[in-house]
Chain A
């Protein structure tokens, strides 16, 4: 993967030196909070309900053992022994002291990491496919392009004060594992007539006005990427609304002006931007590519894997959900669930982080990924080694067999931590997972994505959950709205609200009714929840949610 150059290290050291001085001036009283707040946000430092929170960028979700061990060190040295992996593939520390943050940033810089542009109205951490470099269906590894965008966007002087934050995702396959069409700009690497280029999607997003991205450019030649992105950003910077925070994202700019008018403006700007690029960016891209070589995977006999599957039903159940096909048939992609039933989605202890680092080193060619679904991935493991990996994971509480199942829930931190939240998310997720484990039905239920947000900003991706849950404050009481039919994949869809919301102690039983209704309604085990919903529509699910509730009330 990409390793920092002398330029990167010097830049980061200077930024950290500046921030250390800014923190000192805030503590000494030379800076007011109003002056300090934008400075700390530029460096990923939030103030939440109970403490500060430091959000560390994990560019395109890629880590190596050295970085992962340093994240574990930060968790133990300056936090409470754990970190929280987010839906933007970042990691958050929930308990740092202001005076410790400069040391934390210095420790991160030792391993080529930082918290820059993890907040503010800037281009945020670029996300990608967590199976990049390993998936059989990809055209190319999308991460070098993501790294090029990271370098271009970091501290880009023109785009430090956009109307609102800006999120970019890059994928390289038709299958979308990165929720690409829910990004401000989504890029898909494609090939046409033997030439590489990009499909450019614009104006996707969640939040209070969820929208699916629309196709801005069907084929952008490879060398035009950065000048074209500059044209898009410059157009948005100029046309985007600054009078209303809730109408400031590019999705609203595109929606209000129309896609064609927006495209015309971008195309008019593009030649000016193109002329300013000498082509040096393509040289950089070539250099970056050289650092992302997929490891040479030796031929390995997979017999041990097959034998373990036959001999151990626990291993087989886990392998069925947590191991995905690798482009090399004798290897597998291992997804490590951070969704043990009853535990906080996305949390990993320092010990768990170190174990994952060790396993990556021993069995996984030193490659670790963070997925937007708040799990970790070892993308290149020989099938023959997977039983040993599983045994180690189980000992550390990381052996949960639930990837893609109902308890593999995305949940934002919600009101347990977040100052913006209107209700809790985590206890709803843990409550649901615990209930599913009691019922022992999730393997029978099969593919089902439940996503929970604790406020309308939708960090928990509820709009694209097959079952989405949105926590709100209704007259001083937590209330949870359900949406159905959302889809985070390449056939992206926004879910539809079922009707009135449910109280905190009603939401888990309500989702349970939905799941049992699905089991009754499906044509067979091969028909997924989403397919059943698409075949039958809202009515039978609505009936399961509300009619039974009405009957229960009537019986009281």
Chain B
């Protein structure tokens, strides 16, 4: 039996700022994970990743990150993605301090 597909989002780092971005359903790069498009179909996820990788002038290192659906949008299944979503835990810097609004 084929393994069930875990939902994903397309994520990368912004070319200039280097911060974490996610691909939204309307093709915008967004800073807030809640706005990211949750991909529940494997073929669709692969296709969205290819589209993202073609936008090399905007981002670096696009990949699919595992998520689960939550009431406020995608939630990371792994702690690494949770840190990427918030910022470092030793200083109040990164997304947690930026207010996430300037996408």
Q: Are A51 and B19 also in contact (CB < 8 A) when A415-B80, A417-B88 are? A: yes
Q: Which of A396-416 contact B (CB under 8 A)?
A: 415-416
Set of chain A residues within 8 Å of B16, measured between Cβ atoms: 27, 97-99
Which residue of the partner chain A has the closest CB to B83? A415
Which residue of the partner chain B has the closest CB to A32? B56
CA distance A480 to B13 in the complex (A): 28
- Residue A427 CB within 8 A of the other chain: yes
The 8 Å CB contact of B17, one of A26, A51, A344, A477, is A51
Is there an interface contact between B77 and A476, defined as CB atoms closer than 8 Å?
A: yes
Q: Are A427 and B78 also in contact (CB < 8 A) when A32-B56, A33-B60, A49-B84 are? A: no
Is there an interface contact between B61 and A33, defined as CB atoms closer than 8 Å?
A: yes
Chain B min CB distance to A95 (Å)? 7
CA distance A47 to B59 in the complex (A): 12
Which residue of the partner chain B has the closest CB to A28? B57
Q: Are A430 and B56 also in contact (CB < 8 A) when A97-B16, A415-B80 are? A: no
Is there an interface contact between A430 and B18, defined as CB atoms closer than 8 Å?
A: no
Set of chain B residues within 8 Å of A424, measured between Cβ atoms: 83, 89
CA distance A49 to B83 in the complex (A): 8
- Residue A52 CB within 8 A of the other chain: yes
Is there an interface contact between A51 and B60, defined as CB atoms closer than 8 Å?
A: no
Is there an interface contact between B80 and A80, defined as CB atoms closer than 8 Å?
A: no
CA distance A424 to B87 in the complex (A): 12
The 8 Å CB contact of A476, one of B56, B79, B95, is B79
Is there an interface contact between B20 and A29, defined as CB atoms closer than 8 Å?
A: no
Chain B min CB distance to A44 (Å)? 14
CA distance A477 to B82 in the complex (A): 12
Q: Are A416 and B88 also in contact (CB < 8 A) when A33-B56, A477-B79 are? A: yes
Chain A min CB distance to B102 (Å)? 13
Is there an interface contact between A50 and B94, defined as CB atoms closer than 8 Å?
A: yes
Is there an interface contact between A426 and B90, defined as CB atoms closer than 8 Å?
A: yes
B residues contacting the other copy or chain, number (CB 8 A): 25
- Residue A478 CB within 8 A of the other chain: yes
Chain A min CB distance to B61 (Å)? 7
Set of chain A residues within 8 Å of B94, measured between Cβ atoms: 50-51
Q: What sequence of 0s and 1s flags, for each residue 13-34 of chain A, a beta carbon within 8 Å of any chain B beta carbon?
A: 0000000000000110100110
Q: Are A427 and B19 also in contact (CB < 8 A) when A49-B84, A415-B83, A416-B83 are? A: no
Chain B min CB distance to A28 (Å)? 8
CA distance A197 to B16 in the complex (A): 49
Q: Are A50 and B20 also in contact (CB < 8 A) when A344-B90, A344-B91, A424-B89 are? A: yes
The 8 Å CB contact of A47, one of B56, B61, B77, is B61
Set of chain B residues within 8 Å of A99, measured between Cβ atoms: 16
Set of chain B residues within 8 Å of A427, measured between Cβ atoms: 89-90
Chain B min CB distance to A231 (Å)? 39
CA distance A430 to B77 in the complex (A): 26
Set of chain B residues within 8 Å of A48, measured between Cβ atoms: 18
- Which among B20, B61, B89 has the highest number of chain A CB atoms within 10 Å? B89
Set of chain A residues within 8 Å of B13, measured between Cβ atoms: 47, 51
- Which among B18, B93, B95 has the highest number of chain A CB atoms within 10 Å? B18
Chain A min CB distance to B13 (Å)? 6
Is there an interface contact between A80 and B18, defined as CB atoms closer than 8 Å?
A: no
Which A residues fall within an 8 A CB radius of B?
26-27, 29, 32-33, 47-52, 80, 94-99, 344, 415-417, 424, 426-427, 430, 473, 476-478
Q: List 27 A-B contacts (CB under 8 A).
A: A32-B56, A33-B56, A47-B60, A49-B84, A50-B87, A50-B93, A52-B18, A80-B91, A95-B93, A96-B18, A97-B16, A97-B17, A98-B15, A98-B16, A98-B17, A98-B18, A99-B16, A344-B91, A415-B80, A416-B83, A416-B88, A416-B89, A426-B88, A426-B90, A427-B90, A430-B90, A478-B79
Those 4 A-B pairs whose CB atoms lie nearest each other, nearest first: A416-B88, A52-B18, A51-B18, A29-B57
